[in-house]
Structures are given as C-alpha cells and as structure tokens.
Structure 1
Amino acid sequence: MSSELRYFVLHKPFGILSQFTPEGGHQSLADLDFTFPKDVYPVGRLDQDSEGLLILTNDNYLKNNLLDPKSEKQKTYLVQVEGEINDEALRRLEEGVSVKHKGKVYHTRPAEASHFSGIIPEERDPPVRFRKSVPTSWLTLTIIEGKNRQVRKMTAAVGFPTLRLIRLGIQNLKLNELAIGEVQEISKTDIYQQCGIKP
C-alpha cells in the first residue's frame, strides 16, 4: 500500500499510449523522460493520437470522482479541423450531434464550441499532414462526457474532420505553459480545488 498520495499533470505527446505498457509497437508513458512512482496511473485516457492534459495519481477517490459520468466534469479541447469551420457547425456542436458509440447511435449532450483565435500551439512531432488545397481552422470544444473518440466523431458529424486534438483542461485545471512531454507534480489541495472535488 502506498505511503502517500501523489498527483502529476502531464502534457501527453502525440503517439504515446495512455498506459505504461507498450502495445502494438507504440510508445507508452514509460518512454517519457520522467520516472513516475510505481503505483501512479493515468486517470482515464487520451487516445494515442491525441495530446494534452493527462492526470496521473494513486488517489482512487480522485480517479473515481473524475471518471464518474454523473460528475459531469468539463473537459476543454483545442481542435484543429480540416476546412474553415463556420458558425452553423459550431451551433450544431453546441446543441449535440448524433454519433456512433459501441455500435449504437448516440446523441451528444450540449457542449460549448467557439472559434479559436489565440496563439497556435507548437507543432507536434510528426507534424499534421496538410492538403494544400484544403484550409484548416481551430476551435475550442468543452464537453461534459468522455465517450471513446467523442470529439473526433463530433467534428466529423458536422463535416469538419479532426486533424489535431489537444486537451487544454479539466474543470479549472489547465495545461497552461506545460511543454509537450513535460510533467508537473501538484498538491492534493490544488488538484482537488481546480477539479472541483470535495475531499
């Protein structure tokens, strides 16, 4: 049994699995230039081809609170899509769209979607493959669900396939200036407060 509870925030790079065991020739969290305590594991997961905020901890109470669908924790993503996304598509994303989930049609819950006009993140490695004839654009999308590949399915449903997906935050816990692949340890008080969890 662990002697103390630990909390880490990672800016997960593209191409890394959200687990410590390599699989299918893909790199895992064990390949990062950081040694986590043996009993620390990721809370939920980001797809191999998604980037951004990933929490790792040995605090099961925190894990269960964040992963419980009833908790409706806000997760905010920065999304690069193929094409110039328009207001109509953003409106549809906000109202909810029909996507396939586990072989059934699922209607996503209301979300927040808006054009992104801030500083574009540093290029990932490897870079997104661009098609010169097709422009790309960025949006932010905040959802309170976490179905498998949900954001990608949502943007595809409104005609704008996702090219790059970065999780910026969970509730008030933000990625901020954390560089790709960087890990930061934070206190229990801070993570509970920023994630909106009562101890």
Structure 2
Amino acid sequence: MSTSPHRYFIINKPYNMVSQFISSHDVRLLGDLNFDFPEGTHAIGRLDNHSEGLLLLTTNKKVTRLLFDPKKKHERSYLIMVKNIVTPELLEQLRKGVSIPVTTGEDYIAVPTSIEIVENVKDYYLHMDDVRQQYPHTWMLMTLTEGKFHQVRKMCLAIHRRCLRLIRVSIGNLKLGDLEPGAVKEMNEQEFFELIGIEYAA
C-alpha cells in the first residue's frame, strides 16, 4: 500500500470545459465534475476548451516539471476529425512536417512522430456519436512529442483542413480507454508514473 501523501487522477475532459478549477470567466470548470477532488489538485498541462480526452490531475506539484522536461520526450496521441477528405498527398505533407505560426511571430516546422488515417474510430474511442460524421470528413491519429500552442489545429489548417474534433487518447502508455466523458479515475502512484514514463523524485 502506497504511503505517498499525493493523489493522482485521470479524467476524460468533456468538450466545452476548461482545464482549471478557477476562472474569472463564465465557463465550465473541472470542479463542475461529479467528483470530490482533494485540496491542491491541479491539471498537468492543458486541453483547450474545445478539445476533449485524457487530462492528468494531481496534488503533486513536481509532476508537471518532470513530464515537461525538455531532455526527455513524452509521446501524446490525438484522435482528430477534420472537415473533408485528407488525400494521401495531404497526409504525406503532414508526415514530412508543415509550417505553422507560433507565439513568437515566427513560423515553426511541426513534424509528428507518427500520423495515420483511422478507418474504425471506435478502436480508439467509444464515444463517437457526432452528427457531423454524415458529411465528408476524415479521422486521423497523430502522435507528437511537442506541444506548441494549438499545434494540432494549426497543422490541420496548414493542409487546408479544419479540425472539427480533437481528442487526446494517450500520454505515454497511459490510455484514455473506455472512460466516459466527464468521468474521473484515481490511479496508484507507481502505476501512474510508470505509464506516463517519468521517474519519481520525492
């Protein structure tokens, strides 16, 4: 039995919810989830308001620094629904890297670790009732080891395809699985660290 004073959670962040507990804006917050989080819980990294999927929460302030250590790359995979068809040529553009604007005002060449077209979306995510799927669209699975501001959406726009839905399905070997939108799962410390691929430092 772990004697750690810290606690660790994963959630399936729903659409239209921010990745924080406090905001000066009238938005849905993590505290609106049906779960009694302990004092000091915070999100590790963020998913923007319109993005969904795997979000890590903890009371351990050191985890963010460990997970975002530039010396060690951690893979994050996203299931992406874009408007219209992505041809093999466009997919190859993404695979080789596309130029996107970043906050410094310069262009940045964004190269995914891997990217592929997904035929059977429910192999990766079960909660797929989306009326927009009746119109021409493409689902892709993209893996990155970097996280520039709105990078996935900007990469899609670089090939003239608008991102309609963005779902993070894994961080390292920690997968979202069948967790329903808005659901919370508490994890054992050792398993949490092993799956996301970081070494614990007390």
Q: Distance in 1 between matches of 2:8 and 2:115?
A: 29
Matches within 5 A, 1:41-120: 41-102=42-103, 103-118=105-120, 119=122
- Relative to structure 1, the CA distance from residue 94 to residue 23 in structure 2 (aligned partners, 3 Å threshold; closer, same or farther) is farther
Q: Distance in 2 between matches of 1:144 and 1:185?
A: 25
The amino acid of 2:9's aligned partner reads: F
The amino acid of 1:63's aligned partner reads: T
Match of 1:177 in 2: 178
TM superposition score normalised by structure 2: 0.89
Structure 1 unmatched ranges of 5 or more: none
Q: Distance in 2 between matches of 1:153 and 1:97?
A: 9
Asked if structure 1 preserves the Cα contact closer than 8 Å seen for 2:78 and 2:143, the reply is yes
Match of 2:154 in 1: 153
- Relative to structure 1, the CA distance from residue 193 to residue 170 in structure 2 (aligned partners, 3 Å threshold; closer, same or farther) is same
The amino acid of 2:29's aligned partner reads: S
Let me know the Cα RMSD of the aligned residues: 1.9
Q: Kindly tell me the number of residue pairs found equivalent between the two proteins.
A: 193
How much does 1:7 deviate? 0.4
Match of 1:19 in 2: 20
Q: Distance in 2 between matches of 1:84 and 1:100?
A: 24
Query: Kindly, what percent of the aligned residue pairs are identical?
Result: 37
How much does 1:123 deviate? 4.3
Q: Distance in 2 between matches of 1:59 and 1:29?
A: 17
Matched, 1:188 2:189: yes
Q: Distance in 1 between matches of 2:154 and 2:100?
A: 6
Matches within 5 A, 1:134-149: 135-149=136-150
Asked if structure 1 preserves the Cα contact closer than 8 Å seen for 2:76 and 2:171, the reply is yes
Asked if structure 2 preserves the Cα contact closer than 8 Å seen for 1:95 and 1:111, the reply is no
TM superposition score normalised by structure 1: 0.90
Asked if structure 2 preserves the Cα contact closer than 8 Å seen for 1:76 and 1:167, the reply is yes
Q: Distance in 1 between matches of 2:188 and 2:92?
A: 38
How much does 1:111 deviate? 2.5
Residue deviations 1:80-100 (CA, integer Å, cap 9, x gap): 000111222222222211001
Asked if structure 1 preserves the Cα contact closer than 8 Å seen for 2:112 and 2:142, the reply is no
